[in-house]
Each structure stands twice: as structure tokens, then as C-alpha cells.
Structure 1
Amino acid sequence: MQSSQASGAAIEFVTGLQLEELTTVTLRATGWQGTLERPLEVDVQGWDLTSEAIKTAPIRLTSKRPKVVGFSFPEAVPLLSQPDPNLSSEQSGQGEPASHAEQGSRAVAPGASGKAGPPPKRKRTRIKPPVDLVKLEDRLYFVLQPPLETLAASSELGFPFEPFPYQMDGIAFLFPRETAILADEMGLGKTMQSITTIRMLLLAGQLRNILLVCPKPLVTNWVREFSLWAPEIPVTVIEGDSAKRQFIWGQKGVPVRIANYELLMRDNAFIHDSGQHFDLVVLDEAQRIKNRNSTTAETVRALPRGRSWALTGTPIENSVEDLVNIFEFLAPGYLRTDMPLKTISKATRDHILRRTKDKVLTDMPPKMYRDDQLDLTPAQNDSYRAAEDEGVVQLEDMGETLTIQHVFELVLRLKQICNFDPATGASCKLQRLEADMEEIAASGKKAIVFSQWVETLEKIADPLDRFGPMQYHGRIPSKRRDSVIQQFKEDPSKHLILMSYGAGSVGLNLQFCEYVFLFDRWWNPAIEDQAINRAHRIGAAGAVTVSRMMAAGTIEERIHDVLEQKRELFNQLFADTGVPKQTGLSRDEIFGLFNLAQPHKKHAA
């Protein structure tokens, strides 16, 4: 073979020519210098770009809007315009991204002349192809996507809140991957990142049938987050009796199904009989499958699927075997427990993304709120509905003798049922707290749990004994309280302190705690804020994540909505003066929780 027939030139993109002028492009293998003896027709292949036999999407290298499989460029037409000669390849966005999401990519603003000017300081997050993606056309699909910030600003992808930069990196990580573990520390928004990526992939036509599996207490939270971050996507929850669930599994054209782990195991036959093949299966709290031989692990591994994602803040809880078993769902046989740690680390590097709060502290506010809307357990739900129906009837029958104290008594009774079922002790909140504490303890962090009832704190303590819970409330003698705080601070086995609002809201410094749980809500946000500020103080170790627990569809949601409306109104009027002293519920609002009118108003009518 002649050297003139096999040059070492790579593929060149000539951006200055119109497509019509590029009638033929010759591909040559990079690096060969004519030392191989092969027929010319094998070594050099001519492509006629005007032939109808080519089934690829053309890339028009002009100033017109480029046609890219996936998203349109509503405000980013100049992204493929002529690079300015004064900019380096890295600045002009032509270089290969250096991480999961390229930082610092430059683009000409819409309507600008294209002249060199001060580069924008705002980060541009680009999607980087996975390292195991070898086809040029596949890599181009991801490389040619516009920056995520451009999509977020477009009408096609509107966000209710602007994501943090590290969350954009997480979306860019998930988008191109068939197998992935998003292992961010609790409170960094794994739910939001996965929902947004699912939304983008649905819009791009890459996904049509998604199954999301999570613990039962989290189903409502996932539905709520989908309505917030992807309101146009229909979401179906697998629930109801056997016949209803079988019908839901067999439905066609349902983009997103949400199932809990327990029902998934029960409905295994329905899934396979329906002939469903999921484009993507997402496991939330994926540490549930760390036991390879458990029924849960075997069930999820048998799901027919294309992509597989796992969300967990603790990919390794006890040993590296936990991670290997999660990968049995993602890519069976990819890892073995007898592999050296360095080999496992190298093999999983492109498939796992983990950030901790201290690493992304500059991206985060000092205090983040997470509203956990949880479904009551069946026993709790039965007790709650019976107590509410009976209580409201009794209040209505009291007529003019009804007082605010009577209403308070019903509210308190219902709130206590939302914490624990009086007959069985079942608790949706305890289930969620236990799952979160697994992650917190595994990372060596500490948490505070607040409740208005000492009895509730005592019920929490025994099931969470493995986390070394300490108690700090009115029943603890004053002379012992300082030693409780000291032991909690210094003992690495003590990950949890249980506090009443009254005892823990004033005078304590617990800035070494990064997590605060409000197991039940106080009447006044000012009291809650005082309690939260035990951890969120000057000198705190990092951002504080506040989880406000409430039972969905109950009195707790109604109280929360009223208090948040009052807080928002106050903030609009007095943004710089802090939380008001009196923002609790008024008499009208308390009666309004059950649509009751105050007796004197009835009398006046």
C-alpha cells in the first residue's frame, strides 16, 4: 500500500463550508503510515453525503439552527458558530470535556456579534460521553447537546428553582449512562437530579417506559417531586388490590410507574406476564439489595430492562460486598468480591458519582429544608380516619358549647396517631427516620430529632438503639443534662440525640450536628427555628439539612400549609427582620382545620 494512499490525517470538520460543497468526505485511519498491506478499498472508504443510503442525521455546519437528535437549541444557535481566533480551543468549547460535566465552556450570547469579549463567569455544564462509548456517532450525540444551563433557561425545560451547580453535574453524569450509581450524601437532591434526567431523556425520545422502585414511605414524596420538577410527565403509582395492580402493570403508554419494594416482590408474576420491558429501572435506597440472596435483590435483578440506575447515600455500609451486590443489578458479573480494591475502584470510577456536603459547600445554602410527606401505614390510616370522623361529628354536635380547647384535643389526638398507631405502634415516620439514620451513621455524622412529646421520643429510642440514641428532655434531671450533651458530642458511637422542643430550643450549642429531624411540627415556626438553630450556628461543621416530617393527607399537612403561608407573608413584608414572635395559628385558623365556625359567629348569624 502506498503511503500517499493512507495518510495519517484524522477526520476534519471544515466549519467554513456549506454542506452542499461537501459532496464527499474521505475517512482515513489515524496513525497508520502505509506499513500495512491491505487492499485499497478496505483501507479507504468513501462516503457520499448526498446518497439516500446514508441513514444519519446531517450536521449542517452553517449559522442556521443545527439539527441534533434530542433537543432543539431555542436560545443557543450561536453555539456552533465560527470560533473566535483569539480564543483557545478550550475557551471556544471545541475541546473535549475534562470531567463528567465540563466547566467553563464559552458560548456567544444570543444576538451578540460574536466579537471577542470578557468570557462569561457563569458555569456551563456539558454532558460528557461515558468512557466505554466508542462509536463516533454515539459520542457526538452527547458532545453536541447544548449546556444544561441553556436547556434550563428554555421554555422546553423550565425549573421551579434554579438547580445548584453540583446538581447540574449530577444530571450530566446520569444522562448518558446505561448503568450508574448516584451516591450523593443525604440532603443533596438525588431525587431532583434523577427526575430531571428522566425528564430530559423522555423529551429526547430515549425513554418511554420507566419503573422507579422505592421504600413504601417514600412513594408519596416521589410523586410530589415529579409534580414539582416534571409536571408534564404522567406518573402512575402501583397500588390497590391484586386486580388493580395487574391492570396497571399491563397498561401501555404509561411513561413512569412507581412501585414499593414489597409490592414489587408480590407482583413479580404480573410484571413478567404483562410482557413489559422497561427502558429504565431506578432503585431508590438501593442498599436494600446489598444482600445478594434476598428475595428483594433477586426480584429486581429479574426485571427486564435497558438502563439501570441506583440511588443510595451508602453504597458501602459494611463491606465492599455491598457495592458488588448493587452492581449485580446494574451489570451482572461485572464485579467480584475477590477482586482487589484498586481494581474495583478503577472499574467503577466511571459509573459512580458521590458528593458530600463539605465538598459542595460553596454551592449550598447554610440551611436546607426537606419536607417529607409520608403515607400512613395501613394501621395508622385506619386509626386516623376513625378518630377524625368520630371527632368531627362530636365537635359539630357540641353547638354553642364548643370551645377551642375541644378542637385542640382532637388536633393533638390526630397528631399523635400520625407519629405512632396507638394499637400496633406502627409508624411511617419511624420507618423513614430509621432509613435516614442508616446513612447518617454510616458516614459518621450526627443528628437531632425533635418532638413535642416525651412519649414519642421514648418510642423512637428502642427501635433505633443501634445508633446510640441519647435523650434530652424535661424528664432528664438538670444535673445530668450537661453530661448527656458531652457524651453525645465525644462518643463516636452516639449518632442520635432525641430532644423535646421545650428542653432543646434554648441555650444549647450542637453545631457538630449536620442533620435535624422535626418528627412532628410545633404550632409556631419561631419555636421550630430556635430548635433548628441549635445545630445551625456560627462554627457549624457544614450545611444543616432539616427534614420536616408530616403524614400526607392529614391534619399535619393542613397545619403546615397555614404556617408556611403566614411565614411567606411575613417574609414578603419584613424580609430583613427575622421570624416574628407570633406566627402560630389563630383561633379562626384552628377551627378552620376542620371547617368549623366559631360558636359566637354562629350566634351572631
Structure 2
Amino acid sequence: MATRTRIAPPRDVVKFADRLQYLLQPPLEQLLAADALSLPHAPFPYQWEGIAYLLPRHEAVLADEMGLGKTMQAAVALRVLAFQGQLRRALLVAPKPLVTNWQREFAQWAPELPVAVVEGDQTTREWIWRRDFAGVLIVNYELAVRDRELAAAATPFDVVLIDEAQRVKNPSGATNHAICSLPRKRSWALTGTPIENSVDDLAGIFEFVSPGRVRPQMRVKDVRDAVTDHVLRRTKDAVLSDLPPKMIRDAELPLAPEQLESYRRAEDDGVVRLADMGAELTIQHVFELVLRLKQICNFDPATGASAKYDWLAADLEECAASGRKAIVFSQWVETIEQLAGRLDRFNPLQFHGRIPSRRRDGVINEFRDNPDRHVLLMSYGAGSVGLNLQFCEYVFLFDRWWNPAVEDQAINRAHRIGAKGPVTVTRFLSTDTIEERIHRVLEEKRELFDAVFGGPEPGSRRGLSRSEVFALFNLPEPPASAAA
């Protein structure tokens, strides 16, 4: 049975005549059924609802879980606005690696919209910004900051859309200031992780979307009430009953004997050194020890012994033998390179910050199309957003990131629309180590996210706070002035 999605008025539309105008519009599916607005294939019902949500709003955050097609929903919404005469020019701000993906999405879902990219030397970019371009202009975040004055002086945009909006979560940062200064009529934001660490992350995003609506240090309940009509959040479990299952397994492993000896020595020496620093102790000193211990949990620095590697290699043997493909995530390029040497028999590919941007599409294409390429070694930073790897059925988190949102993004590169089968996720965890302590904090952050977007209100803890970092080693927290 065909869906009939109505465009409902936002809550701040109160005049009867204005609300009646929305009620008299044809269903969205009927509007797009015209030959001029044909779609390559029918969206899912929840995607129709997402498009209908964006269309009437001047202030909106589409916060669907990764893999639900936020890019497509936004592209179609811009297309409909242009068809209705409400959009002549739009600006899209996206991470640099995702610019080409957005060009492909517009070509597929909004082919009649002209698309141009802000790029080139200073003179070329200055000409682009000053040109009154009719269509969608795409710029990456770095250039948006560098060209802040040029962008702020540009002809106002009917819509400014920011992708991976968590990039502006710091209200005092240069990126936030540059994005908030863009001249615009509508402010739309896309993010699968509107909260990464604390509720204050939303305050930065809303400085762009709806300034003043969310303020730092607001209570969770007040934030939830403030953003109810401005944030649309759906999860895959809630809207995709036919999505293949995602199976999470925690590989909780004791350290190899060589690792354990190195770990204990490093932790004991490190804690003693930190305790002896007194007033000179800062959070940076603690982080240095945390990183050192996490690296030992991956590989023993003296012998190369690794309980995680032994498990991973055995799993990859089975994966390759069955013709499957796997992604292995780590936060360190050095770990990825060490794994690449040891896993040479699987013909692995690497995807991380040291791989030039111009080569990255080729790496993904080679991994997807070459049946002899079974393993992709990927850094969280380079591979956690914007990539569609639904042809992979195995994901391994070789080490854990600082917050669960980034881990979820990484997992959802494979577990998304179009996944051809169940996705098995293995999360490695070294028991009785710093990894286990950090894992407890990660779970608390998940509780916070659920509290803002539909779950129960959490307790007083908010994640990896400054005091909790010191508490990882039972260190007293120095006064803020002393640790500054």
C-alpha cells in the first residue's frame, strides 16, 4: 500500500491560515510523483517522514542513527524546496572526505540542482564566494573557517546545511564561529551523534540552528523539552524491521604474559611519577599514561606479544576462508601498520589519515571489488563517518575510542541500509586494565544519550569528566588553577 506522508506544520506555526496551508498541500509522495521529480527508487516510509520534517522548518536537526540515509533525505528536501520556488541557492558544509560523496548523492537524488564546490587557490575561492551562484555550493569545514570573511559577505543562502554537525559542538571554537556567521534564512544540521560527551555538545550545534535555545549546563529534562520540535532522531532498530541483525560480542581477554609484565611496570612507575608531581600534575600528564597503557594492551613494546592479535588472526582466517570481508578499527596508525605487517597473508588495505585524500576512493573501490582483498585496516578518525561499506559482514574494534558515539559511527559503516547479511561486531577489551575502566565510562555516556533522546533521566555522572580521568588511577584531582 502506497504511503501518504503529509507535511505537518512546526509547533511554532500558530496562525490558523498558516496551518491550513500545510493541511491543503498534497501528500509528499504525490508531489514527487511528477516526472520532473522522479526518484531513482522509492524511499523508506521513515525517509518520507524525514523529508516532510525538514521541508517546513527553518531550524532543524536531522539526527538519525548512522546508516539511515540522512544525506538522501536532505538532498530530496532541498530539491523539493527548489521545485516550490523557496530555494534558489544553498550552502552545504561537510567534512572534506565527504564532498565527493555529496556530489554523487545530489547527482542521484536531485539531478537538476546545479552543484559547485569551493576549492582552488585564494583567488579562485574569492571569485566563487562573490559569484551569485544559483544552486548548491559545497565547502569543507577547513575552507569555511579559512574563508570566513568571504563567506560571511556572500549573498545570503536560502538554506545552510551542515553535515556531521558535531564539528561545531564547541561554542568557543573557530569552526563554530565561522559556521554561525554564514548568512542564511534556514539552518539545517545533520548528525548521527548530536551528543558525544555531554549535553553541552548540543549547545554548540544549536548556536547555529537556533541560538539561545540550548544553553550550557541545562538540566537534561529542560534540554529535551527545548529541542523536541527541532530534532528528529530515529534508530535503525525502530524503523527498519528488515535490516539484518547486528550481533555484538565482547572479546574480553587477559593480557599475554609479556604484555602483563610490561603493563604492570608501566602503570606502577607511571602512577608513582604522577603522584610525585604534586601541584604540577595536569590532565595531560594523566592522558599520556592512559595512552601508553592502551598501546601496551594492543602489543607488548618489547616482544610484540598480543592477545588481541592472536584472537583477531584466528577470526580473520575463518573470514577469508568463507570469502567474507572485514574492517578492523584502531585509533593509532602505528597499530594499523603493525597489523598490516602481521596480516600480510590476508592482503590487507589501509585507510587512515596518512593516506592522501585523492587515493581514498580508490582504496574503498579496491576493497569492495577485489575478491582477494579480505581486510581493511581503518582508523576511527578517517573511517568513522561518511563511508558506505555495507558489503562487509565483520567489524573488529581492536582498541576502544573515548566515547561510544564514534564507535557506533564506525560500526555503522557496515551495518546500514543495503547490508547483505548479519553484521558481527567484535569489541576487544583487555581485562583488569585501563581499557576495562574506560569501558565503564563509555556505558555511562550511552545512558546520557538515551536520556536526552527518549530514555530515562540518568544519574549524576556525565562521562569522562576531568575528575574521572584522575580517578582512573585513584589520583586526587588538583585544583583547576594548579592544573591549568
1:214 aligns with 2:73: no
Unpaired stretches in structure 2, ≥5 consecutive residues: 251-290, 317-327, 331-335, 349-361, 377-390, 396-410, 420-484
2:70 maps to: 190
1:297 maps to: 176
Distance 1:242 1:502, change over 3 A: same
1:333 aligns with 2:212: yes
Q: Is the 8 A contact 1:130 1:176 kept in 2?
A: yes
Structure-to-structure mapping, 1:414-425, within 5 angstroms:
none
Q: 1:44-98, CA deviations, whole angstroms, 9 ceiling, x for partnerless residues? A: xxxxxxxxxxxxxxxxxxxxxxxxxxxxxxxxxxxxxxxxxxxxxxxxxxxxxxx
Q: Is the 8 A contact 2:200 2:217 kept in 1?
A: no
2:407 maps to: none
1:356 aligns with 2:215: no
2:145 maps to: 265
How far apart are residue 496 of structure 1 and its match?
3.3
Structure-to-structure mapping, 1:160-559, within 5 angstroms:
160-274=40-154, 276-362=155-241, 364=243, 483-484=311-312, 496=329, 503=346, 519=364, 521-522=366-367, 525-527=370-372, 534-535=393-394, 544-545=415-416
Alignment size in residue pairs: 311
Distance 1:228 1:524, change over 3 A: closer
Q: 1:339-365, CA deviations, whole angstroms, 9 ceiling, x for partnerless residues? A: 221111011011111112222222546
Q: Partners of 1:317 and 1:528 in 2: how far apart?
A: 33
SS at match of 1:280: strand
Distance 1:480 1:303, change over 3 A: closer
Q: Which amino acid aligns with 1:163?
A: P
When the two structures are superposed, what TM-score results if normalisation uses the length of structure 1? 0.45
Q: Partners of 1:546 and 1:148 in 2: how far apart?
A: 22
Q: 1:355-413, CA deviations, whole angstroms, 9 ceiling, x for partnerless residues? A: 1222222254679xxxxxxxxxxxxxxxxxxxxxxxxxxxxxxxxxxxxxxxxxxxxxx
Q: 1:465-502, CA deviations, whole angstroms, 9 ceiling, x for partnerless residues? A: 9899969xxx99999756448999xxxxxx93778595
Q: Partners of 1:445 and 1:243 in 2: how far apart?
A: 53
Distance 1:344 1:283, change over 3 A: same
SS at match of 1:337: coil
Q: Partners of 2:191 and 2:308 in 1: how far apart?
A: 38
How far apart are residue 205 of structure 1 and its match?
1.0
When the two structures are superposed, what TM-score results if normalisation uses the length of structure 2? 0.56
* Structure having greater relative contact order (Cα 8 Å, sep ≥ 6): 2
Q: Is the 8 A contact 2:118 2:137 kept in 1?
A: yes
Distance 1:484 1:172, change over 3 A: same
% identical aligned pairs? 46
Q: 1:541-569, CA deviations, whole angstroms, 9 ceiling, x for partnerless residues? A: 99824999xxxxxxxxxxxxxxxxxxxxx
Q: Is the 8 A contact 2:195 2:202 kept in 1?
A: yes
How far apart are residue 137 of structure 1 and its match?
2.7
SS at match of 1:206: coil
Distance 1:255 1:545, change over 3 A: same
SS at match of 2:100: helix
Q: Which amino acid aligns with 2:146?
A: R
SS at match of 1:201: helix
Q: Partners of 2:34 and 2:147 in 1: how far apart?
A: 40
Distance 1:172 1:502, change over 3 A: farther
Q: Is the 8 A contact 1:290 1:323 kept in 2?
A: yes
Task: Provide the aligned C-alpha RMSD in A.
Answer: 4.0
Q: Is the 8 A contact 2:91 2:137 kept in 1?
A: yes
Q: Partners of 1:468 and 1:311 in 2: how far apart?
A: 37
2:474 maps to: none
Deviation beyond 4 Å, 4+ runs, structure 1: 363-367, 465-471, 475-482, 484-488, 497-505, 517-520, 522-534
How far apart are residue 338 of structure 1 and its match?
3.2
In terms of fraction of residues, the more helix-rich structure is 2
